[in-house]
Amino acid sequence: MFCHAGAIDPKKAAGKVLVCLRGLNGGVEKGQQASLAGAVGMILANDIIADNEILVEAHVLPASNINYTDGLTVFTYINSTKNPTAYITPVTTQIGTKPAPFMAAFSSKGPNTITPEILKPDITAPGVSVIAAYTEAEGPTNEDFDKRRVQFNSLSGTSMSCPHVSGIVGLLKTLYPNWSPAAIKSAIMTSATTLDNLNEPILNASNIKAGPFSYGAGHVQPNLAMDPGLVYDLTPTDYLNFLCTLGYNETLISLFSKNTYKCPNPINLANFNYPSITIPNLVGPITVTRTVKNVGSPGTYRAKVMRPMGISIYVKPQKLKFEKAGEEKTFSVTLKVKNAQAIKEYVFGELIWSDNVHYVRSPIVVKAV
Ligand SMILES: *[C@@H]1O[C@H](CO)[C@@H](O)[C@H](O)[C@H]1NC(C)=O
Ligand SMILES: *[C@@H]1O[C@H](CO)[C@@H](O)[C@H](O)[C@H]1NC(C)=O
Ligand SMILES: *[C@@H]1O[C@H](CO)[C@@H](O)[C@H](O)[C@H]1NC(C)=O
Ligand SMILES: *[C@@H]1O[C@H](CO)[C@@H](O)[C@H](O)[C@H]1NC(C)=O
């Protein structure tokens, strides 16, 4: 089933299309073993863990990767007949597949185990079967047996997703050389989308609605990040205070700061001016503050809240009027458990500041204890 080394009988495999199951060893390795055994092609069926996630790989023989449900159909067919038959047809390109994007099964997920008060991940970006320039120092599969050399390759992983965001950061820094890293991050996060190309909530690889612990603020939208309206900014001092909350002492903090820095006492991480709001242990009502800076034209922004289930949220003031660029306004958000029966699980909502042109969206993540 897994087509691993030593498991395939060449007498049975020669001239055949083999069906192999994902898992245990890599997909390319399965194809290599099939090929060594004389197979002419391979169908690589997903296991239930990979489910709907199809990753393009530079196979050494003609191969097709199918999802878990299609895999069951193939296995049922093989079981149903003495002489199952497979055909290899020419490759066609499909564009505009739906739904897209959806979360890859391998994508790392929250909650943040080190600092639960800060939502992680922040953002998601394309990371599955991404075609990009490739080194000719190794073969496209990075396997020793792969003597092929290619200028372009298709790869999947956070390593493909991250450079999309790095590139967007670079473009924004070019447009706005004076923006801080935090302002750029805010622009990228608050303009992200949680909808796919069917205008439905982004799903995970099992076709189940994903949430902030999968995609953070959502999927990047670079053109919107160029004009976020408002940003949640942070200064180096805010970051030093953050290190203080991690328990770093003066000696350690001096590694990050030119001047000696004395931690103020106490520091409330809930007020860290991040473009998301996370309360991992809501008991009594809690009020957090945030400050937004206008980086667009003058305008009036109104608050709109999607409440997490069982939680009431009050934003004060409800309206922020900006007369000029660079102006800052502070608001507070009060969160309260609505009834004692509130689910003691993470629940999700959002806060949107909008002037009807910009939609400055922040995820709200709460767990009542
Ligand atoms: C599996 O892939 C097929 C297309 O090959 C698609 O029609 C089907 O919806 C997919 N299964 C699921 C559960 O999405
Ligand atoms: C096909 O047959 C094998 C061997 O009897 C069995 O383990 C497997 O569950 C069957 N698969 C399906 C999809 O019916
Ligand atoms: C999709 O989300 C559901 C519910 O959170 C989870 O049980 C499932 O494992 C997720 N699937 C993948 C592939 O991450
Ligand atoms: C600061 O913390 C480091 C690492 O825990 C420790 O080695 C060092 O002795 C501490 N310094 C002071 C002044 O407490």
Ligand with an atom nearest the CA of residue 73 = 2
Residue pointed to by tokens 């009050």: 314
CATH code 3.50.30.30 region(s) in the chain? 10-78
72 lines ligand 2 (CB under 6 A): yes
CA of residue 44 to ligand 1 center, whole Å: 14
Q: What is the DSSP secondary structure assignment for residue 201, as one 8-state letter?
A: B
Cβ proximity of 202 and 102 under 8 Å: yes
Q: What amino acid occupies position 27?
A: G
Average pLDDT per run of 10 along the chain, which is 369 residues long? 95 96 92 96 94 88 95 97 94 90 93 96 95 94 90 93 97 98 98 98 95 98 98 96 92 90 89 97 95 97 96 97 97 91 86 98 96
Q: Which of 251, 256, 261, 263 maximizes ligand 4 atoms within 8 Å of its Cβ, making it the mutation to test the pocket?
A: 251
Name which residue sits closest to atom 7 of ligand 1, judged by CA: 70
Q: How far is ligand 4, taken at its centre, from the CA of residue 248, in Å?
A: 8
8 alpha carbon to ligand 1 midpoint, in Å?
Answer: 28
Eight-state DSSP code of residue 10: H
Distance CA 131, CA 114 (A): 34
Query: For residue 197, how far is its CA from the centre of ligand 2 (angstroms)?
Result: 36
Find how far residue 120's CA is from the centre of its chain.
9
75 lines ligand 2 (CB under 6 A): yes
Q: What pTM value is reported for the model?
A: 0.88
Integer angstrom CA distances of residue 279 from 46, 197, 295, 311: 37, 31, 28, 11
Dihedral, 75, 76, 80, 81 alpha carbons, nearest 10: -30
User: Which residues does a 6 A CB cutoff place in the pocket of ligand 4?
Assistant: 249, 251-252
User: 302 near 354, Cβ under 8 Å?
Assistant: yes
For ligand 2, is residue 74 a contact (CB within 6 Å)? no
> Backbone phi, then psi, for 280, in 5-degree steps?
-80, -5
Contact 8, 35 (CB under 8 A): no
Distance (Å) from CA 208 to ligand 3 centroid: 7
Largest CA distance in the chain: 79
Of the candidate CATH numbers 3.30.70.100, 3.50.50.60, 3.50.30.30, 3.40.50.12280, the domain formed by 10-78 belongs to 3.50.30.30
Q: Given ligand 3 and candidates 48, 108, 204, which is best to mutate, with the most ligand atoms within 8 Å of its CB?
A: 204
Question: What's the pLDDT score for residue 341?
Answer: 64
pLDDT at 271: 95
Q: How far is the CA of 79 from the centre of ligand 2 (A)?
A: 6
